[in-house]
Amino acid sequence: MRQRVLRVALTAVLVALVLLAIPLALAIRSSLYADQRDALERSALAAAVRVNTGYAGGDPVELPVARAGERLGLYDPERRLRAGAGPRQGDTAVRRALGGVVARADADGELVVAVPVSHDEKVIGVVRASSASSAVRDRVLVGWAALAGAVVLALTLAVLVARRQARLLAAPLEDLSRHCRAVTAGDLSARAAPSAIAEVDQVARTHNDMLHSLTELLRRERDFTANASHQLRTPLTGLQLILESALEQSAPRQRRALGDALAATQRLHHTVDEVLRLAASGRRTGAATAPDWPLSRLLRETEERWHGLFADDGRRLECDTRGVPDDVRIPGGPVTEILAVLLDNARTHGRGTVRVAVRDLDDALALDVADEGAATLDDVSPAPAGAGGPGIGLALARELALSLGGRLALAGTEPTTFTLLLPAGRRAEGSFSRSGRAPEAP
C-alpha cells in the first residue's frame, strides 16, 4: 500500500508541475525578450530626442552613450548610417520606421528597435537600437535553470511528504494485518489498536467486536465440551465397571454376550474421546496426534475385533497386511476410529466379503476398505441432525482424517471402496510427518 500511495502522490505532483512549469517557462522567455525590446526602445527614444534637426546639413550628431551590449545608430531618409554603430545600410526595421512607426525586428542574431526622428511632421531620420539575441537567450536559460531547480525541489519535498503520508496511512493497516496474523496463530486476546484514521478505526472496532463475540462463543463451546466430557465419561466408566463385575460373576454361556457388551462400551468410550479430541484440535491451530502405533499392529487388532462380528453375519473380513511397511507408525486412536466407521458402514450397508488393503505411496499411505456392494451418492452424503444412515459416521471419519492431515474419499461405487490417505510417518524420522495439505487421491 505504501508504494501505491507514493506512486499516486508523485503522479499527481508531476502532472501539476508539468502543467505549471511549461507555461511558466514560456512566460519567462517571452518576458525577458519583451523586457530587452522595451529597453532598446527606451534607448532609441532617448537618442531620437537628442538628434539635431540640421544633421543633414553637416551639423554634428550627439548620440548618447549606449548601454553595455547595445548599439545605437542614426540613419537618414536614404537609410544611410550617419552616426553611431550599425550596418552601413538600414535594414527592414529602418525602412519601416521611415514610415513613421516604431519598428521591432529580429535580424542576423540581433534584437532591433527603430524609432523615427520627426520634424515639422516629416520623418528626417531613424534611430536604430540593437543588441545580441544571445545575451537574452543566456538570461532565458538561467531562468529556466532556476525553474528546473524549483521543480526538483518541489518534487523532492513531494516525495518526502508522500512517503510520510504513505507511512501514516499504511501503518494502521499493517498493525491490523499483524493483529489478524496473531489471531490466526491462536492468540485470541490480541486486539487492534486505535489509529488516527477514522475509516481504519471503524474496521478495527468491527474486527475487535467480532473477535470478542468469537472468543465468547469458543469459551462457551469449551465449557460445553468439558461438561459433556464429564457427563459422558462418568456413566460410561460406571457401565464398564458394572459389566466387568458381571463378567466375573456370570455363567459361562453369558460371558460372550457380556464380553461383547463390554467391548462395545469400550469402543463407545473411545469414540467419545476421539470426538472430544477432534473438537479440541479444531480450536488449536497445528494440533496433532502422535504416531504411536505401528500400522501392522493396528490392522491386526482391527481384524481381531471385527472378524467375529462379520462371521456372525455370515460374511468374511480380509485384512491384507502383506504390503504393510514395517517402519510405518500412525496415530492409532483416530485411524482405529476411522476404520471402525468404515467397517461398520460396510457391515450395515454393504454385502459380501469386506477387504482392507494397504498401499505404500512413498510419501503417503492408502488404506482401502472395499465390499461387494454398490454405493450411491445418497449413501455417503452427511445426514441431517436426528436422521439415520451412514452419513453421520462418515462425516466424523472425514473430519478425523482432515485433523491428521489426510483425506477420506469414496474411490469407487461398484464395488463400494473407501480410500483413506494419510501422510507417511517413518520410524526413523521419529515423528508423524504431515504435509501442508491433504494428499491427492491416486
Higher pLDDT, 174 or 150: 150
- As for how many domains the chain has, the answer is 3
The confidence band for 431, taking pLDDT boundaries of 50, 70 and 90, is very low
Tell me how crowded residue 418 is: count the other CB atoms within 10 A of its CB. Answer: 25
Q: Which three cell numbers, joined as nine digits, stand for 11?
A: 503522479
Q: Does one domain contain both 293 and 412? A: yes
Question: What pLDDT, on a 0 to 100 scale, did the predictor assign at position 311?
Answer: 86
Domain shared by 300 and 394, yes or no: yes
Farthest-apart Cα atoms in the chain, separation: 165
Q: Inform me whether the pLDDT recorded for 68 exceeds 90.
A: no
In a domain, 114, yes or no: yes
At 430, give phi and psi (nearest 5°): 80, 0
As a dihedral over the C-alpha atoms of residue 157, residue 159, residue 163, residue 164, rounded to 10 degrees, the angle is 10
Looking at the structure, tell me whether residues 272 and 299 fall in a common domain. Answer: no
User: Which pLDDT score is estimated for 436?
Assistant: 38
CATH of the domain at 24: 3.30.450.20
Q: Are residues 239 and 335 in the same domain?
A: no
Segments forming the whole domain that contains residue 294:
288-429
Tell me if the pTM is above 0.75: no
Contact indicator for 324, 366 with CB cutoff of 8 Å: no
pLDDT at 193 over 60: yes
Percent of the chain with pLDDT over 90: 10
pLDDT at 142: 93
Same domain, 137 and 9: yes
- Which SS3 state, helix, strand or coil, does residue 393 take? helix
144, pLDDT greater than 90: yes
Residues 221 and 95 in one domain: no
Sign of the torsion angle spanned by Cα atoms 376, 381, 383, 389? positive
Quick one: pLDDT at residue 207?
A: 80
Is pLDDT at 42 greater than 60 in this prediction? yes
**C-alpha to C-alpha distance for 357 and 319, rounded to whole angstroms:** 6
Q: Are 382 and 306 found together in one domain?
A: yes
Give yes or no: residues 273 and 298 share one domain.
Answer: no
CA angle 284, 287, 293 (to 5 degrees): 155
User: What letter represents residue 228's amino acid?
Assistant: A
Q: Where among 281, 310, 338 does a domain terminate?
A: 281
Confidence of residue 230 (pLDDT cuts 50, 70, 90): low
CATH number, position 410: 3.30.565.10
Residues 275 and 332 in one domain: no
Q: Do 264 and 310 reside in the same domain of the chain?
A: no
164 assigned to some structural domain: no
Identify which of 247, 265, 22 has the alpha carbon closest to the alpha carbon of residue 144: 22
327 within some domain: yes
Across 290-312, average pLDDT: 80
* CB of 182 closer than 8 Å to CB of 44: no
Q: Contact, 37 vs 70, CB < 8 A?
A: no
Mean pLDDT of the 245-252 span: 74
φ, ψ of residue 312 to 5 degrees: the values are -60, -30
Is 186 inside a domain boundary? no
Q: Are residues 294 and 274 in the same domain?
A: no
Q: Is 267 exposed, middle or buried (0-12, 13-18, 19+ CB in 10 A)?
A: middle
Q: What is the pLDDT of residues 343-362, one digit of tens each?
A: 888 888 888 889 888 887 77
Write the burial class of residue 115 (CB in 10 Å: 0-12 exposed, 13-18 middle, 19+ buried). buried
pLDDT for 361 = 79
Residue 294: CB partners within 8 Å, gap ≥ 6? 326, 328, 329
Check if the beta carbon of residue 163 is closer than 8 Å to that of residue 1.
Answer: no
Domain boundary among 124, 149, 174: 149
CATH number at residue 216: 1.10.287
Q: 390 and 335: one domain? A: yes
CA terminus-to-terminus distance, the chain = 42
* Mean pLDDT over the full length of the chain: 78
- Taking each helix axis from N to C end, the angle separating 133-184 and 2-49, rounded to the nearest 10 degrees, works out to 170
For the segment 220-236, the average pLDDT, to the nearest whole number, is: 72
The confidence band for 413, taking pLDDT boundaries of 50, 70 and 90, is: confident
Q: Residue 140: pLDDT band by 50, 70, 90 thresholds?
A: very high
Structural domain contains residue 403: yes
Q: What is the pLDDT of residues 357-401, one digit of tens each?
A: 888 777 788 888 999 888 765 555 554 444 444 455 788 788 888
Domain contains 313: yes
pLDDT at 228: 67
pLDDT average, residue stretch 49-67: 78
Q: Considering the domain boundaries, does residue 192 fall inside one? A: no
Domain termination residue (choose one: 119, 134, 149) = 149
Q: Which residue has the higher pLDDT, 425 or 90?
A: 90
DSSP classification of residue 409: E
The pLDDT of residue 326 = 67
Higher pLDDT, 120 or 114: 114
Give 1 or 182, the one with higher predicted confidence: 182
- How far apart (Å, rounded) are the C-alpha atoms in residues 270 and 290? 16
pLDDT at 383: 46
Check residue 438 and give its pLDDT.
Answer: 43
Residue 408 within any structural domain of the chain: yes
pLDDT at 222 > cutoff 80: no
If one compares 110 and 6, the residue with the highest pLDDT of the two is 110
For the ranges 39-53, 164-178, 254-268, 381-395, the maximum mean pLDDT occurs at 39-53
